[in-house]
Amino acid sequence: MTGFGEAYGRQENVTVKVEVRAINNRFLKLVVRADEEHAALEPMVEAVVREAVHRGTVQVNFWVDRKRLPDEFQINLEVLERYRQQLEEVQRRWGRTSTEVPWSALLALPGVVGETFAKADDALRDWPLVKETLCAALEKMQTMRIEEGKAMCEDLKSNCQALLEGLQRIERRASLAMESSRQRLQERVQRVCDELQLSLEPNDLLKEIVLLADRSDISEEIVRLRSHVEQFQAALDLSESAGRKLDFLCQEMFREANTIGGKANDLEIAREVIEIKTAVERIREMVQNVE
């Protein structure tokens, strides 16, 4: 299911923005993007997302803006003094008179001004705020997905109801189809016997009719298909993730419908089976995106 969530977090001198986007996918695929300083947080972000999302292609973008405080910068006096000594030594060697070097030039030299905290430490210190903002963005995304899920659930239930109605028509037709097949078999056998001037014992004909009835009996398949549909409907109302279970039930429903179509030698049943398989295929396409 698709969804989008955006959230902002602010704490003292740190501002965080998180965007979460999700599109349909049978499996869970994560893409996390962050600035170089906070790339170390990507595994932790992924762990949080995996707890909340089980299916879909999810992209997480987050930005962290940290304003440096004055106390976080310090002048390294030893390094600065060493630079001064080296400059004086160069001046003596070149025979130049001493001239004052601008402070701006000295402060720009490597190592003169240092940060009291390493960037990796900054990322870890920012994680609580990043996590809080990420959870808020995920909650907004899930709200959108839930609304989409409600509409999808109604559509799935409608297709299930159409499937059950078709199955009821097949069940009513099955006994009539069996009697029709029996009559056709009896007429065909009688016609052949008349043409070849053969006699057939009633018991022999009865055996053929029993074999035909056994091969054409679809009562078990009807029971199993109805059971799969009822389990599917029950799974739609579960609070936990049921996407994979629904996917499995779709496969079983399609298999039973195929068996019914193969065993029942009846035009009306064949038409109903086509409608049922069409409904199952619609259900299967939607279930691929259900979490």
Q: For residue 45, what pLDDT is reported? A: 94
- Sign for the pseudo-dihedral over CA of 263, 264, 267, 272: negative
| Domains in the chain: boundaries | 3-68+120-146, 77-111
CATH number of 3-68+120-146: 3.30.230.10
Q: What would the mean pLDDT of 105-110 be, rounded to a whole number?
A: 69
Contacts of 91 (CB under 8 A, 6+ apart): 97, 98, 99
Instruction: For residue 261, name the pLDDT band (cuts at 50, 70, 90).
Output: confident
Provide the residue type at 82 as one letter.
R
The pLDDT tens digits for 198-228 are 565 555 555 555 555 556 678 888 899 999 9
**Burial grade of 160 (CB within 10 A; 0-12, 13-18, 19 or more):** buried
Could you tell me the pTM of the whole model?
0.58
Q: Tell me which amino acid residue 166 is.
A: G
